[in-house]
Amino acid sequence: MNCNPKTYAIAFCEAAMNVKSKSDADRCVKNLLALVSANRDQKKLKDIFLAVEKIIRRKTGHRKFIIESARPLSHANEKTIKHLIKPADIVENKIDSRLIAGIKININDELQFDGSFATKIKSILNLPC
Amino acid sequence: MSYEIIEKLKQAIGEYKETEKLEEIGRVIESGDGIVKIYGLKNVKSQEVLSIETAENSIEALALNLEEDSVGALVLGDHISIKSGDIVKRTNRLLSIDTGKSLLGRVVSPLGQVLDGKGLIFGKEKPTQYFLENEAPSVLDREPVDTPLHTGIKTIDSMIPIGRGQRELIIGDRQTGKTAITIDTIINQHLDTYKKTPVCIYVAIGQKESKIAKMVETLKNSGALEYTIIVSAPASSSAALWYLAPYAGCAIGEYFRDRGEDAVVVYDDLSKHAWAYRQISLLLRRPPGREAYPGDIFYLHSRLLERSARLSKEKGGGSLTALPIVETQLGDVTAYIPTNIISITDGQIYLESDLFYQGVRPAVSVGLSVSRVGSKAQTPAMKKIAGKLRLELAQFRELQAFIQFASDVDDATKKKIKRGQIITEVLKQPDLDPMPFEKQLIVLYAVLNNYLDEIASDKLPAMQAKLIENIEKLHRADIMEPLRKTGTLTKEIEEKLKSAIEKVVAK
């Protein structure tokens, strides 16, 4: 059977909606993996998980924030960012010293705010000199 | 030097404007052979430039396949450093090239990068951006082709004339002199006095860099480089650059066309362009069709060649002439790409290997070559003189085939064959030696009016040179200049020409 990642993801999400217990949920995941391997579509797994994540986020309306900074955020910065985030949103903090300073916010892996010093320097050095 | 760098950096920092905003991003999920598959970027446009942020630097890519959840893009730089998971940003700009008069005499890549090591192209002049993919002028914006584009090649200017705004295909096997015709045409443009010298753009697709360097040197030595621009996508470059090169050349041509100037663009060659597009399409997993080319291979070339046009006076009256080249395999003009391009263009110049090896150079096959619109643009004098040339040559070829089997040939036939041999000999022309059209007129007038019938074949080149030299020296004002200026052969000029030829031949 030739299926694309999105088809797998839709089918899995619909099956998972009717699950009542944790063991049922585990069985559902196992069955998905068995089906993918039977169809020799293991290469598509990454895309399938991305599609599943996207469907769940769309259904629940929850957003996933990844906040990257060079150092742990100060209390004042955290307070400013909190205004943007709803209580149900998932927030992940990452420390990446390559940013040098500033902040990078990734929303749902679809939108990005890049206020890092590293990017600023890059854009200055890319200017025609 | 370091002071200058510091000053420039200080200026750049001072002028830096904060542009942080929420940007739409995607992620690379697959990368290989210059193609990337990106997850996300649902609002991206076709032909939009994307920026792939790798660990080392950012690399540009061109969005080609817009699918429901993913985008297939063509990497425009080094694809080795791209990894799965890299972030891809939109740039909100369609692929374009910087154009301007400063490009004249330069060698650039299809993305506008300098390849000749002569430094920045646009110093004081502000460049104008032209989209690589642009719409062709509409019917109302066009005018009929009515101005000749002299190639300096006797066979072509007399029998297969090309007009400014025309699309004339040059087709033939490898090593038959296809590129040589286009180089002669470029060189001849500055010999064509009293006519606006067109800007020439030579697009080299998948050629050896040594060949491109040699060609640049040839153009430079003949004084043609100053009005020529070379767009180079050499053999060592990626399929992406091979694919984009003709569009870049066309965009540069359009810049001049839209400013009321004439431009000629040579695509050398479109067979390799089709191969590059086939490679890209197969890697993008587009369904293959005949000879594994994608379904839109015809559109690939038709949308490129339709941009060549003669614009109306309201639009500035500029023109863009296209001279695409197609390489055939073993003389097969019925292959997929040759037939496609033959049907798109306004005629073709067919070069035959057999003629080439017989020493007939340029090896133009008069029977298979045609110009569908150029005859309307032919100079009146040339039309008058060379009108019967094609017919005489055709008769000669027919007789030549016939006498192979005949043992006894009458005098009239012998005479016709002799004349055919003389005409063929006169039409021979060495490489890189284009002849201005007024000189062609003199030679053709002499041969077609039987003045050269008694001269031995091996003495014909010397006689041609003598004839031209004599008339140039003694009749510059009363024959050469009026012909050059008006392009008409009046009775008065004809009489003078007759007596001048008679005198030279009698000597």
Q: Are B348 and B169 in contact (CB under 8 A)?
A: yes
Same domain, A52 and A91: no
Rounded distance, CA B42 to CA B104, Å? 40
Residue B107 pLDDT exceeds 80: yes
Least confident of A101-105, B55-59, B150-154, B460-464: B55-59
Same domain, A56 and A71: no
pLDDT greater at residue B170 or residue A88: B170
Q: Which fold has domain B384-506?
A: Lysin (1.20.150)
Interchain contact B20–A (C-beta under 8 A): yes
Looking at A60, A81, A97, the residue that finishes a domain is A60
Task: Note the CATH architecture for domain B24-93.
Answer: Beta Barrel (2.40)
Same domain, A21 and A54: yes
Angle formed by the axes of helices B491-506 and B437-448, nearest 10°: 70
Same domain, A71 and A51: no
Strand pairing class (B128-131; B87-94):
unpaired
CATH assignment, B98-378 = 3.40.50.300
Q: What is the mean pLDDT of chain A?
A: 86
pLDDT band at residue B38 using 50, 70 and 90 as cut-offs: very high
Q: Are B341 and B270 in contact (CB under 8 A)?
A: yes
What does DSSP assign to residue B243? Answer: H
pLDDT greater at residue B139 or residue A90: B139
Determine what percent of chain A is predicted with pLDDT higher than 90: 26
Which residues, in sequence order, are CB contacts of A98 under 8 Å at separation 6+? A70, A118
Interchain contact B51–A (C-beta under 8 A): no
**B148-204 per-position pLDDT tens digit:** 999 999 999 999 999 999 999 999 999 999 999 999 999 999 988 777 899 999 999
Determine what percent of chain B is predicted with pLDDT higher than 90: 78
What sign for the dihedral angle of Cα B241, B247, B253, B256? Answer: negative
pLDDT band at residue B376 using 50, 70 and 90 as cut-offs: confident
Residue extents of the structural domains in chain B? 24-93, 98-378, 384-506
Per-residue confidence (pLDDT) for residue A127, from 0 to 100: 45
Residue B418 pLDDT exceeds 60: yes
Closest CA to B39 of A83, A54, A101, A9: A54
Per-residue confidence (pLDDT) for residue A118, from 0 to 100: 86
Q: Cα-flanking dihedrals φ and ψ of residue B29, to 5°?
A: -110, -15
Count the domains in chain A. 2
Same domain, A87 and A111: yes
- Residue B61: how many CA atoms within 13 Å on its side-chain side? 36
**A54-68 per-position pLDDT tens digit:** 888 888 888 888 999
Same domain, A120 and A73: yes
**A108-121 per-position pLDDT tens digit:** 888 999 888 888 88
Per-residue confidence (pLDDT) for residue B1, from 0 to 100: 61
Average pLDDT over residues B348-352: 96
Least CB–CB distance from A111: residue in B22, B39, B58? B22
Per-residue confidence (pLDDT) for residue A128, from 0 to 100: 43
Looking at A22, A43, A60, the residue that finishes a domain is A60
Per-residue confidence (pLDDT) for residue A129, from 0 to 100: 32
Least CB–CB distance from B12: residue in A50, A112, A127? A127
- Residue B372 catalytic? yes
Q: Which chain A residues have a beta carbon less than 8 Å from that of B32?
A: none
Please compute Rg for chain B using Cα positions.
Answer: 26
Instruction: Decide if the complex's ipTM is over 0.90.
Output: no
Per-residue confidence (pLDDT) for residue B423, from 0 to 100: 93
Residue A72 pLDDT exceeds 60: yes
Closest CA to B402 of B428, B420, B383: B420
Q: In which residue are the tokens 């020409």 written?
A: B497
Least confident of B50-54, B116-120, B140-144, B407-411: B407-411
Same domain, A53 and A68: no
Same domain, A45 and A70: no
Looking at A60, A87, A103, the residue that finishes a domain is A60
Average pLDDT over residues B86-114: 95
Average pLDDT over residues B223-231: 97
Per-residue confidence (pLDDT) for residue A126, from 0 to 100: 66
The CA–CA distances, whole Å, from A82 to A58, A65, A101, B149 equal 22, 11, 20, 70
Contact A106 B22 (CB under 8 A): no
Same domain, A122 and A68: yes
Residue B332 pLDDT exceeds 80: yes
Interchain contact B1–A (C-beta under 8 A): no
Contact B20 A47 (CB under 8 A): no
Residue B90 pLDDT exceeds 90: yes
Print the domain residue range for A113.
Answer: 64-126
Q: What is the DSSP string of B304-340?
A: HHTT--BBPGGGTS-EEEEEEEEE-STT-TTSHHHHH
Interchain contact A109–B (C-beta under 8 A): yes
pLDDT band at residue A17 using 50, 70 and 90 as cut-offs: confident
Same domain, A86 and A99: yes
Contact A113 B22 (CB under 8 A): yes
Interchain contact B56–A (C-beta under 8 A): no
- Tell me how close the Cα of A15 comes to any Cα of chain B, in angstroms: 22
User: Which residue intervals of B329-436 are DSSP H helices?
Assistant: 336-344, 353-358, 380-386, 389-403, 411-427
